[in-house]
Structure 1
Amino acid sequence: MKHTIAVLVNNQPGVLQRVSGLFGRRGFNIESITVGTSEEAGLSRMVIVTTGDEKMLEQVTKQLYKLIDVIKVVDLSANPMVARELALIKVGAEPSMRPEILGVVETFRASIVDIGTGSLTVQVVGDSEKIDAMVELLKPYGIRELTRTGVTAMTRGNAR
Protein backbone atom coordinates (compact mmCIF):
# COMPACT_ATOMS: atom_id res chain seq x y z
CA MET A 1 0.00 0.00 0.00
CA LYS A 2 1.30 3.45 -0.92
CA HIS A 3 1.52 6.09 1.82
CA THR A 4 2.08 9.82 1.52
CA ILE A 5 3.53 11.23 4.74
CA ALA A 6 4.03 14.90 5.64
CA VAL A 7 6.80 15.54 8.16
CA LEU A 8 7.16 19.00 9.71
CA VAL A 9 10.78 19.54 10.78
CA ASN A 10 13.11 22.25 12.02
CA ASN A 11 14.89 23.84 9.08
CA GLN A 12 18.39 22.72 10.12
CA PRO A 13 21.38 21.27 8.25
CA GLY A 14 21.40 17.46 8.24
CA VAL A 15 17.70 16.91 8.96
CA LEU A 16 16.98 15.54 5.48
CA GLN A 17 19.89 13.12 5.80
CA ARG A 18 18.67 11.90 9.22
CA VAL A 19 15.10 11.39 8.01
CA SER A 20 16.09 9.60 4.79
CA GLY A 21 18.70 7.57 6.70
CA LEU A 22 16.00 6.36 9.08
CA PHE A 23 14.09 4.89 6.14
CA GLY A 24 17.22 3.27 4.71
CA ARG A 25 18.27 1.70 8.02
CA ARG A 26 14.81 0.17 8.41
CA GLY A 27 14.85 -1.18 4.85
CA PHE A 28 11.96 1.02 3.70
CA ASN A 29 12.12 2.54 0.24
CA ILE A 30 11.38 6.21 -0.42
CA GLU A 31 9.62 6.46 -3.79
CA SER A 32 9.55 10.25 -3.70
CA ILE A 33 10.62 13.02 -1.33
CA THR A 34 10.09 16.75 -1.61
CA VAL A 35 11.21 19.35 0.90
CA GLY A 36 10.49 23.04 1.18
CA THR A 37 9.75 25.81 3.61
CA SER A 38 6.41 25.68 5.40
CA GLU A 39 3.93 28.33 6.50
CA GLU A 40 5.89 28.75 9.76
CA ALA A 41 9.27 30.48 9.78
CA GLY A 42 12.13 28.13 10.66
CA LEU A 43 10.18 24.98 9.75
CA SER A 44 10.26 22.87 6.59
CA ARG A 45 7.77 20.31 5.35
CA MET A 46 8.89 17.02 3.84
CA VAL A 47 6.41 15.05 1.76
CA ILE A 48 7.51 11.43 1.51
CA VAL A 49 5.89 8.72 -0.60
CA THR A 50 6.66 5.18 0.54
CA THR A 51 5.14 1.72 0.20
CA GLY A 52 4.28 -0.66 3.02
CA ASP A 53 1.58 -1.95 5.30
CA GLU A 54 0.00 -0.21 8.30
CA LYS A 55 2.52 -1.79 10.69
CA MET A 56 5.41 -0.34 8.68
CA LEU A 57 3.75 3.09 8.66
CA GLU A 58 3.27 2.97 12.43
CA GLN A 59 6.90 1.94 12.95
CA VAL A 60 8.21 4.73 10.68
CA THR A 61 6.03 7.30 12.43
CA LYS A 62 7.30 6.27 15.86
CA GLN A 63 10.91 6.34 14.67
CA LEU A 64 10.47 9.77 13.06
CA TYR A 65 9.14 11.22 16.32
CA LYS A 66 12.36 10.04 18.02
CA LEU A 67 14.37 12.43 15.83
CA ILE A 68 14.96 15.71 17.68
CA ASP A 69 14.11 17.99 14.74
CA VAL A 70 10.79 16.30 13.86
CA ILE A 71 7.81 18.37 15.03
CA LYS A 72 4.83 16.56 13.46
CA VAL A 73 4.15 13.51 11.25
CA VAL A 74 0.88 13.16 9.32
CA ASP A 75 -0.26 10.31 7.05
CA LEU A 76 -1.84 12.42 4.30
CA SER A 77 -3.06 9.36 2.41
CA ALA A 78 -5.37 8.49 5.34
CA ASN A 79 -7.60 11.44 4.34
CA PRO A 80 -8.73 13.03 1.07
CA MET A 81 -5.69 14.90 -0.28
CA VAL A 82 -4.45 16.96 -3.18
CA ALA A 83 -1.19 15.58 -4.61
CA ARG A 84 0.76 17.02 -7.53
CA GLU A 85 4.03 16.43 -9.31
CA LEU A 86 5.84 18.38 -12.03
CA ALA A 87 7.82 16.87 -14.88
CA LEU A 88 9.99 18.39 -17.58
CA ILE A 89 10.28 16.15 -20.65
CA LYS A 90 12.61 16.94 -23.54
CA VAL A 91 11.56 15.13 -26.72
CA GLY A 92 13.05 14.94 -30.17
CA ALA A 93 10.86 17.12 -32.37
CA GLU A 94 11.73 17.93 -35.93
CA PRO A 95 9.48 20.71 -37.27
CA SER A 96 7.30 18.22 -39.18
CA MET A 97 6.47 16.31 -35.95
CA ARG A 98 5.67 19.36 -33.79
CA PRO A 99 1.93 19.65 -34.57
CA GLU A 100 1.43 16.02 -33.55
CA ILE A 101 3.35 16.53 -30.28
CA LEU A 102 1.45 19.78 -29.61
CA GLY A 103 -1.78 17.77 -29.84
CA VAL A 104 -0.59 15.48 -27.04
CA VAL A 105 0.57 18.47 -24.99
CA GLU A 106 -2.79 20.25 -25.32
CA THR A 107 -4.74 17.10 -24.43
CA PHE A 108 -2.86 16.90 -21.12
CA ARG A 109 -3.13 20.65 -20.46
CA ALA A 110 0.65 20.70 -20.43
CA SER A 111 2.82 23.42 -21.94
CA ILE A 112 5.89 23.85 -24.09
CA VAL A 113 8.55 25.69 -22.07
CA ASP A 114 11.46 25.50 -24.52
CA ILE A 115 11.90 24.98 -28.24
CA GLY A 116 15.20 23.92 -29.79
CA THR A 117 16.07 23.24 -33.42
CA GLY A 118 15.38 19.53 -33.00
CA SER A 119 13.61 19.29 -29.63
CA LEU A 120 10.75 20.51 -27.46
CA THR A 121 10.67 20.66 -23.68
CA VAL A 122 7.26 19.92 -22.20
CA GLN A 123 6.15 20.87 -18.70
CA VAL A 124 3.33 18.81 -17.22
CA VAL A 125 1.77 19.13 -13.76
CA GLY A 126 -0.62 16.64 -12.20
CA ASP A 127 -0.89 13.45 -10.23
CA SER A 128 1.68 10.72 -10.79
CA GLU A 129 -0.65 8.75 -13.07
CA LYS A 130 -1.04 11.76 -15.39
CA ILE A 131 2.74 12.22 -15.54
CA ASP A 132 3.22 8.50 -16.28
CA ALA A 133 0.61 8.63 -19.07
CA MET A 134 2.24 11.69 -20.63
CA VAL A 135 5.65 10.01 -20.58
CA GLU A 136 4.23 6.91 -22.29
CA LEU A 137 2.62 8.97 -25.06
CA LEU A 138 5.82 10.93 -25.68
CA LYS A 139 8.12 7.86 -25.78
CA PRO A 140 7.55 7.21 -29.51
CA TYR A 141 8.96 10.67 -30.28
CA GLY A 142 12.16 9.90 -28.41
CA ILE A 143 12.54 11.20 -24.88
CA ARG A 144 15.98 12.78 -24.63
CA GLU A 145 15.76 13.88 -21.03
CA LEU A 146 13.23 13.53 -18.21
CA THR A 147 13.12 15.01 -14.73
CA ARG A 148 10.35 14.80 -12.11
CA THR A 149 9.97 16.74 -8.88
CA GLY A 150 8.38 14.04 -6.79
CA VAL A 151 4.98 14.34 -5.13
CA THR A 152 3.96 17.26 -2.98
CA ALA A 153 0.63 17.02 -1.18
CA MET A 154 -1.74 18.36 1.45
CA THR A 155 -5.12 17.39 2.85
CA ARG A 156 -8.24 18.71 1.14
CA GLY A 157 -10.57 21.28 2.63
CA ASN A 158 -10.18 22.67 6.13
CA ALA A 159 -8.29 19.70 7.59
CA ARG A 160 -4.76 20.44 8.79
Structure 2
Amino acid sequence: METQHTFSLIYTRKPGILIRVALVLERRGYTIESMSTNSYDSNPDYWEMILTTEGDPEKLEQITRQLAKLIDVFSVQVLKEMYC
Protein backbone atom coordinates (compact mmCIF):
# COMPACT_ATOMS: atom_id res chain seq x y z
CA MET A 1 0.00 0.00 0.00
CA GLU A 2 1.36 3.42 -0.97
CA THR A 3 1.51 5.94 1.85
CA GLN A 4 1.96 9.70 1.78
CA HIS A 5 4.72 11.09 4.01
CA THR A 6 5.73 14.65 4.82
CA PHE A 7 9.37 15.34 5.68
CA SER A 8 10.99 18.44 7.15
CA LEU A 9 14.70 18.91 6.41
CA ILE A 10 16.89 21.63 7.92
CA TYR A 11 19.96 22.28 5.75
CA THR A 12 22.54 24.83 4.70
CA ARG A 13 21.71 26.40 1.37
CA LYS A 14 24.33 25.19 -1.09
CA PRO A 15 24.17 24.10 -4.73
CA GLY A 16 23.19 20.47 -5.32
CA ILE A 17 21.16 19.75 -2.19
CA LEU A 18 17.90 19.33 -4.08
CA ILE A 19 19.31 16.74 -6.49
CA ARG A 20 20.89 14.75 -3.63
CA VAL A 21 17.55 14.66 -1.78
CA ALA A 22 15.68 13.70 -4.97
CA LEU A 23 18.14 10.86 -5.70
CA VAL A 24 17.74 9.36 -2.21
CA LEU A 25 13.96 9.31 -2.67
CA GLU A 26 14.09 8.07 -6.27
CA ARG A 27 16.38 5.14 -5.43
CA ARG A 28 13.83 3.91 -2.88
CA GLY A 29 10.83 4.24 -5.20
CA TYR A 30 9.43 7.40 -3.65
CA THR A 31 7.89 10.19 -5.75
CA ILE A 32 8.06 13.85 -4.71
CA GLU A 33 4.48 15.13 -4.74
CA SER A 34 5.22 18.66 -3.50
CA MET A 35 8.13 20.65 -2.14
CA SER A 36 8.55 24.00 -0.43
CA THR A 37 11.66 25.77 0.87
CA ASN A 38 11.98 28.73 3.16
CA SER A 39 14.62 30.34 5.36
CA TYR A 40 14.70 28.88 8.86
CA ASP A 41 13.34 31.28 11.50
CA SER A 42 15.95 30.93 14.23
CA ASN A 43 19.07 31.04 12.02
CA PRO A 44 19.36 32.74 8.61
CA ASP A 45 22.22 30.40 7.59
CA TYR A 46 19.83 27.42 7.61
CA TRP A 47 16.87 26.68 5.36
CA GLU A 48 13.91 24.35 5.74
CA MET A 49 12.58 22.06 3.01
CA ILE A 50 9.13 20.50 3.37
CA LEU A 51 8.61 17.49 1.09
CA THR A 52 5.45 15.49 0.54
CA THR A 53 6.19 12.09 -0.95
CA GLU A 54 4.40 8.87 -1.73
CA GLY A 55 5.91 5.43 -1.39
CA ASP A 56 6.34 2.19 0.52
CA PRO A 57 6.01 2.78 4.30
CA GLU A 58 8.47 -0.04 5.03
CA LYS A 59 11.30 2.07 3.57
CA LEU A 60 10.48 5.20 5.59
CA GLU A 61 13.04 4.67 8.37
CA GLN A 62 15.81 3.89 5.89
CA ILE A 63 15.03 7.02 3.84
CA THR A 64 14.99 9.17 6.97
CA ARG A 65 18.44 7.88 8.01
CA GLN A 66 19.88 8.38 4.52
CA LEU A 67 18.54 11.93 4.23
CA ALA A 68 20.09 12.74 7.61
CA LYS A 69 23.48 11.47 6.35
CA LEU A 70 23.54 13.92 3.43
CA ILE A 71 26.18 16.63 3.59
CA ASP A 72 24.65 19.96 4.66
CA VAL A 73 21.48 18.33 6.14
CA PHE A 74 21.26 18.92 9.90
CA SER A 75 17.83 17.59 10.78
CA VAL A 76 15.18 15.31 9.25
CA GLN A 77 11.73 14.77 10.73
CA VAL A 78 8.72 12.85 9.46
CA LEU A 79 5.80 15.20 10.04
CA LYS A 80 2.84 13.02 9.09
CA GLU A 81 1.83 9.79 7.43
CA MET A 82 -1.40 9.41 5.44
CA TYR A 83 -2.68 6.18 3.91
CA CYS A 84 -3.98 6.56 0.37
Give TM-score, length-normalised by structure 1: 0.45
Q: Distance in 1 between matches of 2:57 and 2:30?
A: 13
Higher helix share: 1
Structure 1: runs of 5 or more not aligned: 79-160
> TM-score, normalising length from structure 2?
0.81
Structure 1 distance, partners of 2:25, 2:57, is: 15
SS of aligned partner of 1:50: strand
Distance in 1, Cα, partners of 2:51 & 2:79? 10
Aligned residues of 2:30 and 2:56 also touching (Cα < 8 A): no
- SS for the counterpart of 1:12 is coil
Identity among equivalent positions (%) equals 38
How large is the Cα RMSD of the aligned pairs? 1.5
**Of Structure 1 and Structure 2, which has the larger fraction of its residues in strand?**
2
- Match of 1:47, SS state, is strand
The structural deviation recorded for 1:53 is 4.0
Residue equivalent to 1:62: 65
Greater RCO, CA 8 A, separation 6+: 2
Q: Which residues of structure 2 form unaligned runs of 5+?
A: none
